[in-house]
Each structure stands twice: as structure tokens, then as C-alpha cells.
Chain A
């Protein structure tokens, strides 16, 4: 088991390294795109900043607090998107039957599909998240107890793992529904957009849905509310703020099983 994970990670790094080298062949083009991407992803936050030119707070949260939510959500999602974003195009491989090629290679299919056409430019989203997180932290007056200090990196990593599980689940779903890749966007891009805003502005049913059904609230909302010293609108017991790593592990386990089931159900495209 450990050996298999080690081999999978090594293979992932090798394939990613190959694509990075390929990207860097056109160095100027890549640099232009990376800078362009970083600047234009900042436009996304600019819209929120414009909102705050008209109001002092949104759902009771200040701009710095929203920036904290935005930064944590965007960093966690950005990391998952950078590492596994290519999984969203597995559907087209299922459609044209090229999953066959992946099956005959001595590397786990998940690793190959995730590393396929690795796009280094996707790093822009994560950088933007980190940038805003840094800005938010410098502007916020947070009580830096050891627990809070630890909670921030734990939140980012478990958040990335939860989004990674969503990507793998979405990939597994595409083995059955090849054309339905866009459903995934509702949970990935939709999820990160949702988590950028304070939970107080959304309807309670929606909050319950993203806490108990698709546990996106554990990406940043619940731990972030603790760091910001705020109550969560659903009034859940305090320990759930620390449950993100456990939720992330559970999500990854479910996603892993779904992926196996999906792959086992794969039928090629005939002759």
C-alpha cells in the first residue's frame, strides 16, 4: 500500500515535470500568461472590493474579514485545482476511448488523469488566494492563540483535500455521464465562490446542505469563524470547528471508492 502510494506520487511528479518542461519551452508566452492570469484573477476580488465601496459590511462582515474568507477559500481551491484540475477533462477521454491508453501503463489511472496536460498557469489562482490571505491577516485584529495559529494552515490543507475529493468524485461521475463535466463546476467553482462570502448572507437550508450533504463548510467557514471569533449561524457545537481534517479524510475515502467503481464500470468505445 505504502509502496503503491510512493510509486503513484513519484509517477505524478515525473509526468507533471514533463508537462512543466513542455510549458517552459515557450518561456515568454508562459510568463505573459502567468502574470496575465494573476492580474485578471484579482478582478474577481475587485468586484467584492467595489461592493464594499457602497457598504461598510456584508452580512455583518468587514472587507478584511471577507478577504480572509476569500483568501482561505481561494488558496484551498487553487491548490486542489492546480494538482487535480485536469481530472475535469476525463469525460472526453472516456468518450473517445483513450482511457485504454491509461489502463495499459504501469501507473495508477487516477495519477495519469490528474497529471495529464498539467497546466502550471493554474498556480495563479492559488497565488492570488495567498496574496489576499496575507493582506487580510495584516488588516485583521486576530487573537493569535496557538490554536488559531495552527488552525489556518490546517484549514488550507484540509480544504484543499476536500476540494480534491470533489474533483475525484466528479471524475468518477464522468465515467457514467461523459458529457456532464459541467455539474462538477457547480461544486468546484460554485463551492469556492460560495465560501468567499460570509455564511450569514445565505439561507439556512443552503448552509445545512453545504455542512451535512456536500461538506464544503469545513473547507473554511467553520474553522474561519473560530479564528475570526464569530459564532456560526447554524449554532453547531464548538468541536466541529476542528473537524475539517477528519471530514477531509472521509471525503477522500468516499471519492477513492467512487473512482474505483467508476473505473471498473469503464467500457471502451468498441472496435
Chain B
């Protein structure tokens, strides 16, 4: 990690870059808010019949909705960010230049993606959350420790999301057009992260399995931390450990796939 200052510079410029897309940010906030309202009403219909469904009361369920909308852009559940740009560079062959550089490809894009996520967490997360809190009764925690652990959990959620999208982006080396696979990736992450319905509501063994998949680390786990469903040092450590574990496994898989790709595949135009 002798290039650490460099990666921080990349992170900072990526943050600044996204902060210049003001209109796009406003548009995203508007869309997140509209979706927040739609989903909130469906959850009210569900929870008014089954209070305590999935271990949440109605206020917690609604907090889950608005948290999902607030984190949607930051964790890039809908794809985009580093994935889109790396795919374009692989498709055009520009990635050859990236591979020449004396920096690590995966770490470079991770830094860029963290910068993007940091901006989108602030720019696209705060307003929908505030609107949700004004329009509905939410269950937000008051303990500073909860918020601190939540912050770490969100960071890990972003890293897991990046690691998954990096893997998807690398498939462009073979597929040339990863658009179809990206769509599948988005639909999978929307469903298995808990964005459509909290994973605690999923029934039986299916629910058990789904809660152990990497996508759970992207929304379900941070939500449970914020809703104080994960309380106590042991439970919180397990939550963060689960996320960190998946982050490491997926980042390692990304490195493995990258070395296969760069060894065996002929770069476009090269």
C-alpha cells in the first residue's frame, strides 16, 4: 500500500466529480422519494394486517423503506458507478492503458467508487430520509454508538457492492457487451438485498439461505444495525464480520478473475 495517498486523491476527485452533477443528483433524489412513497404504502398495507412481520413493527418497516431509498445510490444496487466506466474501458480497449499504470486496477476503481458512494450517500441519501421522516413515523435510533456502527456497516456494504460489480464488469473481457448481465445483476441485487421486501420476511429455509448471501450485506445488515435489531457487542461484531467476510471473498475473486482475464484475453484493438 505504498500508493495510499494516491488512492485517497482518486477518492477525493471522484467525490468532487460526482458533486458537479447537480441536476442528476436532484433528479435522483426526486425519483428515490417517489419510490419511497409507493413502497411505504404497500408496507403499511402489509404491516397493518401483520404487525411484527419479520420482527419489525410498522415504524421499523417504514424506516427500512426509506433507508433502502437513501442507500440505493450509494451502494449502487442499480449498478453504474465504477462498473459502467470500467466496462466501457474494457469494451473500447482503453483498459490496456490502465493495466500499464503502476497502480492496482482493482484498488484504483475501489477508490473511485468509494468517492462516488461518499458523495451519493450525502447528496442522495439525506433528503429522501428527511422526507420519509416528515411524512411517516420512523424508528431512528438515538444512541450515537448505533450510528457509528451503522456508518462502518454502510462502508462495508459499499465495498461488497463494488466487489460484486467489479466481477460483473470483468465479464466484459469475454462478453464484449455486459449490458444483459448487468441487468440480471441489478435484479438479483434488488431482490436479494432486501430492497423489495426485508429478507427477514422471506419464509423458511429459503429465507435462511438468502440471509447468508453477499447481497444481504448490502442493505439488510446495515438496516438491522440501524434498527437496533442487532444489539450488543457480539451481535454487532457478527454483523460487521459477515460483511467484511464477503467483501474479502469477493475482492479476492475479483483479483483471480482479473489475472485470468489479463493473461488469456486479447484486449480490443490490441
Q: How far is the CA of A50 from the CA of B31 in the complex (A)?
A: 25
Q: Are the CB atoms of A201 and B188 closer together than 8 Å?
A: no
Q: Which residues of A contact B209 (CB under 8 A)?
A: none
Knowing A44-B196, A47-B191 touch, does A54 contact B180 (C-beta < 8 A)?
no
A142 on interface, CB distance cutoff 8 Å: no
Knowing A43-B191, A54-B201, A183-B30 touch, does A26 contact B24 (C-beta < 8 A)?
no
Q: Are the CB atoms of B180 and A47 closer together than 8 Å?
A: no
User: Measured between C-beta atoms, what is the minimum distance from A264 to chain B in Å?
Assistant: 21
Q: Which residues of B contact A33 (CB under 8 A)?
A: 180-181, 183-184
Q: Are the CB atoms of B31 and A51 closer together than 8 Å?
A: no
Q: How far is the CA of A32 from the CA of B39 in the complex (A)?
A: 31
Q: Which residues of B contact A201 (CB under 8 A)?
A: 41-42, 44-45
A-side interface mostly: helix
B197 on interface, CB distance cutoff 8 Å: yes
Q: Are the CB atoms of B31 and A37 closer together than 8 Å?
A: no
B203 on interface, CB distance cutoff 8 Å: yes
Size of the chain B interface, CB-CB below 8 angstroms: 39
Q: How far is the CA of A30 from the CA of B175 in the complex (A)?
A: 10
Q: Which residues of B contact A202 (CB under 8 A)?
A: 38, 41
Q: Are the CB atoms of B180 and A179 closer together than 8 Å?
A: no
Task: Choose the segment among B46-54, B146-154, B159-167 that binds chain A (4+ C-beta atoms closer than 8 Å).
Answer: B46-54
User: Measured between C-beta atoms, what is the minimum distance from B183 to chain A in Å?
Assistant: 6
Q: How far is the CA of A202 from the CA of B44 in the complex (A)?
A: 9
B-side interface mostly: helix
Q: Are the CB atoms of B24 and A179 closer together than 8 Å?
A: yes
Q: Are the CB atoms of A177 and B23 closer together than 8 Å?
A: yes
Q: Are the CB atoms of A197 and B23 closer together than 8 Å?
A: no
A43 closest partner in B (C-beta): B191
Q: Are the CB atoms of A36 and B35 closer together than 8 Å?
A: no
Residues 40-53 of chain A, each 1 if its beta carbon lies under 8 Å from chain B, else 0 = 11011011001101
B21 on interface, CB distance cutoff 8 Å: yes
A47 closest partner in B (C-beta): B196
Task: Choose the segment among A1-9, A146-154, A185-193 that binds chain B (4+ C-beta atoms closer than 8 Å).
Answer: A185-193
A104 on interface, CB distance cutoff 8 Å: no
B99 on interface, CB distance cutoff 8 Å: no
User: Measured between C-beta atoms, what is the minimum distance from A70 to chain B in Å?
Assistant: 12
Residues of chain A from 14 to 61 with CB closer than 8 A to chain B in the complex: 26, 29-30, 32-34, 36-37, 40-41, 43-44, 46-47, 50-51, 53-55, 58-59
A143 on interface, CB distance cutoff 8 Å: no
Q: Which residues of A contact B237 (CB under 8 A)?
A: none
User: Measured between C-beta atoms, what is the minimum distance from B31 to chain A in Å?
Assistant: 4
User: Measured between C-beta atoms, what is the minimum distance from A131 to chain B in Å?
Assistant: 16
Residues 173-196 of chain B, each 1 if its beta carbon lies under 8 Å from chain A, else 0 = 001110111011001101100001
Q: Are the CB atoms of B35 and A206 closer together than 8 Å?
A: no
B27 on interface, CB distance cutoff 8 Å: yes
Q: Are the CB atoms of A190 and B38 closer together than 8 Å?
A: yes
Q: Which residues of B contact A203 (CB under 8 A)?
A: 41
A185 closest partner in B (C-beta): B31
Q: Are the CB atoms of B21 and A179 closer together than 8 Å?
A: yes
A177 closest partner in B (C-beta): B23
B28 on interface, CB distance cutoff 8 Å: yes
Additional A-B contacts beyond A121-B183, A202-B41 (18; CB < 8 A): A29-B175, A33-B184, A36-B184, A37-B180, A37-B184, A46-B191, A53-B203, A54-B201, A177-B27, A179-B24, A182-B24, A182-B28, A183-B27, A183-B30, A183-B31, A197-B41, A203-B41, A206-B41
